[in-house]
Amino acid sequence: MAIQRTLTILKPDAYRAGNMGNIIALIEESGFKIVHALLFKFTEKSARQFYQVHDGKDFFAGLLEFTVSDKVLAMVLEKENAIADFRKLMGATDPAKADPGTIRAKFGTALPKNAVHGSDSEANARKEITYIFGEFASIPSTEKNHAKEY
Ligand code: ADP
Ligand code: MG
């Protein structure tokens, strides 16, 4: 299985509840390496674009309102099989249906407040990483950069 990168976003509910540190600890304990990170607040326009595949669904307006409601922490995570493994660590979309021990079971409350986002495919991971991190996303690997710059 190849080394992959995935995008996670720790959502406004996690930020407000002060759960960022605990979620990051779980992510690191599960073997993911944080390659890039950015704390920011979505604008209505950027939230709409990020979640455009859901435009037209009945929960879209509520999802947008929630997404812009507070700061979020976007991180690029690297690991073997990162995309599927992070989906597993994250748990089912609905926190009530997420397996015990998953991030959403532990830190989600009720939809849309499920604490984290995780990319669902290689194509979407690439697209989402580029959308949030732009040219920084092309930096090859943490080890290489550290060796060069420090
Ligand atoms: P996932 O985040 O597991 O990939 P989706 O891509 O289907 O799930 O949905 C994107 C986000 O929209 C979810 O993480 C959740 O915050 C919200 N959402 C999904 N389904 C619902 C729903 N039925 N009601 C309210 N919010 C929802
Ligand atoms: Mg999704």
Going from the Cα of 118 to the center of ligand 2, the distance in angstroms, rounded, reads: 7
What is the DSSP secondary structure assignment for residue 32, as one 8-state letter? P
Domain count, the chain: 1
Q: Tell me which residue has its CA closest to atom 26 in ligand 1.
A: 112
pTM here is 0.93
The alpha carbons of the chain give a radius of gyration, in whole angstroms, of 15
71: CATH: 3.30.70.141
Going from the Cα of 124 to the center of ligand 2, the distance in angstroms, rounded, reads: 9
106-145 confidence digits (pLDDT tens): 999 999 999 999 999 999 999 999 999 998 887 665 555 4
Structural domain of residue 111, as residue ranges? 3-149
37-94 confidence digits (pLDDT tens): 999 999 999 999 999 999 999 999 999 999 999 999 999 999 999 999 999 999 999 9
- Report in angstroms the alpha-carbon separations of 98 from 6, 11, 65, 67: 20, 17, 23, 20
Going from the Cα of 150 to the center of ligand 1, the distance in angstroms, rounded, reads: 41
In this structure, what is the dihedral angle of CA atoms 45, 118, 111, 70, given to the nearest 10 degrees? -50
> Which residues are catalytic, by number?
11, 51, 114, 117, 128
